C-alpha cells in the first residue's frame, strides 16, 4: 500500500519537508492552505496534483490517507483533531502541541478513531540515532551519567514574527529546545525533576533557556537553546566508560565519534546524507499506517505527552504563558 499524503500549511517548514520528502519518493497528492492562491502556488512548486483553499477541504479529500500538519504551534492541536475526525492518519510537526493537555486530547482522539498520530521529531529516526541507541544499550560507554546538547540560531527579531508572538506559541523552546529535550529523553528517559532558567523578550516569549534534567538513577541532562545567537550546536552522551560526541549540527545527519574514558577515539562515524533526512520518519510512520500498529517506535505518543508536560513545567518556572494554558 502506498500512503498518499496531504499537507496542512504552506509555510517554511512545509516547504522544507515536502521538498526533501518528494526527492526521497514520498507521494504527496494534496495541499491545503487558508487561501486557494497559496495552495495553488505551493502545489505548482512541488508538483502536487490538488490544491485546497481550506484545511477542511484538504481533510475531506478521499484521495488523502495521511496528513502532515505544518501550521504554527498554536494551531497544531486544532488541525490535528480536524484531520483525525476526518479519519486521517496524522503526522504533527514538532513541538506536537502547545501544552500536555492539548497533546493528550489529540492522542486520545486518534485512539478513538483508530488512526495513527505521531510527533514529527525527525531526528529520532535518523540512522545515526538508531546506532547511538544501540551503542548505549550495549553498554559501550558504560552507564550514561550525562547528556549535553545545545541548539541556538539567530532568528528574526521582528515582534510580528511567529517566533516572537505568544499567540502563535513563539519562543525558543517549542521551536528549538524540543530538539535537545527530546534527545535527552530518548537517551535517559523522562526526567524525574526539571530546573529551568531563561530570558524573556518584551513580548513574553523565551529567547534563551537552560535546563537541568534529573533522570532515574541520578543521571542528568544539561541543555541550552536560544533564538537570538549562534552556537556550535553539538551534543555529547557521557558514560562512566566513554562518551559519544556528535558534531555540528548534531540533530541533522552528521559526523560523530565514540571515545573511551580517556577521550581517545575508538570509532568514527559519518552519518551525512544528500538529503535533510525527513523521509526516515515518514517511512517509519507509513509502516505504522500500513501495519495497523499505530503506536510505539522511536516516538511513541505517550512519550510525546510526557515531553510536553516537561516543557509546561519549564515554561512555568521561567514565566512563559500561552493562551492554551488557560484552556
Nearest Cα to 174, choosing from 321, 25, 11?
A: 321
Residue 142 covered by a domain:
yes
Q: What totals of helices (H) and strands (E) does the chain contain, helices first? A: 10, 14
Same domain membership, residue 134 and residue 268? yes
For residue 236, the model assigns a pLDDT of 99
Question: Looking at the structure, do residues 36 and 175 belong to the same domain, yes or no?
Answer: no
Residue 303 in any domain: the answer is no
pLDDT in tens, 198-223: 999 999 999 999 999 999 999 999 99
Do 132 and 265 have their domain in common?
yes
Residue 103 sits in a domain of what CATH number? Answer: 3.40.50.720
Q: Has residue 55 been placed in a domain?
A: yes
Same-domain status, 101 and 133: no
Residues 6+ apart with CB under 8 A from 327: 99, 101, 102
Q: Please tell me whether residues 257 and 148 are part of one structural domain.
A: yes
Query: 207 lies in which domain range?
Result: 127-275
Q: Is residue 173 part of a domain?
A: yes
- Using 50, 70 and 90 to split pLDDT, how confident is the model at 159? confident
Say if 317 falls within a structural domain: no
- Is the residue at 256 inside a domain? yes
Please indicate, yes or no, if residue 99 is contained in any of the structural domains: yes
Pick from 87-96, 122-131, 269-278, 318-327: least confident: 318-327
Structurally, the chain folds into a number of domains equal to 2
Q: Are residues 149 and 136 in the same domain?
A: yes
Q: Flag whether pLDDT at 288 surpasses 70.
A: yes
d(CA 100, CA 307) in angstroms, rounded, equals: 8
Q: What is the CATH number of the domain that holds 181?
A: 3.30.360.10
Q: How far apart are CA 200 and CA 301, in angstroms?
A: 30
Do 264 and 134 reside in the same domain of the chain? yes
* Residue 192 lies inside a defined structural domain of this protein: yes
pTM over 0.95: yes
Q: How does the average pLDDT of the chain come out, rounded?
A: 97
Query: Looking at residue 157, what is its pLDDT?
Result: 85
The proportion of the chain whose per-residue pLDDT surpasses 90, expressed as a percent, equals 96
Query: Are residues 270 and 182 part of one domain?
Result: yes
Taking 80 as the threshold, does the pLDDT of residue 326 lie above it? no
Q: Are residues 203 and 170 in the same domain?
A: yes
DSSP assignments along 112-155, one per residue: HHT--EEEE-GGGGSHHHHHHHHHHHTTTT-SEEEEEEEEE-B-
Is the peptide bond between 95 and the residue preceding it cis, with omega within 30 degrees of 0? yes
88 in active site: no
- Name the active-site residue from 75, 88, 89, 94: 94
pLDDT tens track for 160-201: 889 999 999 999 999 999 999 999 999 999 999 999 999 999
The verdict on 199 and 102 lying in the same domain is no
> Which of 86-95, 150-159, 190-199 has the lowest average pLDDT?
150-159
Q: Are residues 262 and 157 located together in one domain of the fold?
A: yes
Strands 28-32 and 50-52: parallel
Same structural domain for residues 220 and 242?
yes
Task: Please count the other Cβ atoms lying within 10 Å of the Cβ belonging to residue 266.
Answer: 11
Q: Beta strands 5-8 and 66-69: pairing type?
A: parallel
Closest CA to 165 of 49, 255, 250, 73: 73
Asked whether 41 and 18 are in contact (CB, 8 A), the reply is no
Amino acid at each position: 500500500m502506498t500512503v498518499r499524503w496531504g499537507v496542512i500549511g504552506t509555510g517554511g517548514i512545509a516547504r522544507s519537508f515536502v521538498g526533501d520528502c518528494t526527492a526521497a519518493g514520498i507521494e504527496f497528492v494534496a495541499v491545503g492552505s487558508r487561501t486557494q492562491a497559496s495552495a495553488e502556488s505551493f502545489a505548482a512548486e512541488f508538483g502536487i496534483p490538488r490544491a485546497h483553499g481550506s484545511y477542511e477541504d484538504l481533510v475531506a479529500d478521499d484521495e488523502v490517507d495521511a496528513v502532515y500538519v505544518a501550521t504554527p504551534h498554536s494551531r497544531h492541536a486544532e488541525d490535528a483533531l480536524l484531520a483525525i475526525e476526518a479519519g486521517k492518519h496524522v503526522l504533527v510537526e514538532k513541538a506536537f502541541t502547545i501544552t500536555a493537555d492539548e497533546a493528550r486530547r489529540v492522542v486520545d482522539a486518534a485512539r478513538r478513531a483508530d488512526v495513527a498520530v505521531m510527533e514529527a521529531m525527525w531526528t529520532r529516526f535518523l540512522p545515526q540515532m538508531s546506532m547511538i541507541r544501540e551503542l548505549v544499550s550495549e553498554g559501550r560507554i558504560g552507564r550514561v551519567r550525562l547528556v549535553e546538547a545545545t541548539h541556538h540560531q539567530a532568528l528574526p527579531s521582528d515582534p510580528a514574527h511567529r517566533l516572537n508572538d505568544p499567540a502563535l506559541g513563539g519562543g525558543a523552546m517549542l521551536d528549538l529546545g524540543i530538539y535537545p529535550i527530546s534527545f535527552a529523553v530518548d537517551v535517559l528517559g523522562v526526567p524525574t525533576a526539571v530546573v529551568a532558567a531563561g530570558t524573556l523578550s518584551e513580548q513574553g516569549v523565551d529567547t534563551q533557556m537552560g535546563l537541568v534534567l534529573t533522570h532515574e538513577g541520578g543521571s542528568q541532562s544539561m541543555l541550552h537553546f536560544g533564538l537570538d545567537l549562534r552556537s556550535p550546536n553539538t551534543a555529547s552522551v557521557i558514560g562512566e566508560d566513554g562518551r559519544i560526541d556528535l558534531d555540528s549540527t548534531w540533530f541533522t545527519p552528521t559526523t560523530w565519534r565514540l571515545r573511551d574514558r580517556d577521550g581517545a577515539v575508538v570509532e568514527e562515524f559519518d552519518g551525512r546524507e544528500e538529503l535533510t533526512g525527513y523521509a526516515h520518519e515518514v517511512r517509519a510512520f507509513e509502516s505504522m499506517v500500513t501495519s495497523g500498529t499505530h503506536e510505539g517506535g522511536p516516538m511513541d505518543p505517550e512519550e510525546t505527552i510526557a515531553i510536553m508536560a516537561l516543557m509546561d513545567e519549564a515554561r512555568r518556572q521561567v514565566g512563559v504563558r500561552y493562551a492554551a494554558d488557560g484552556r
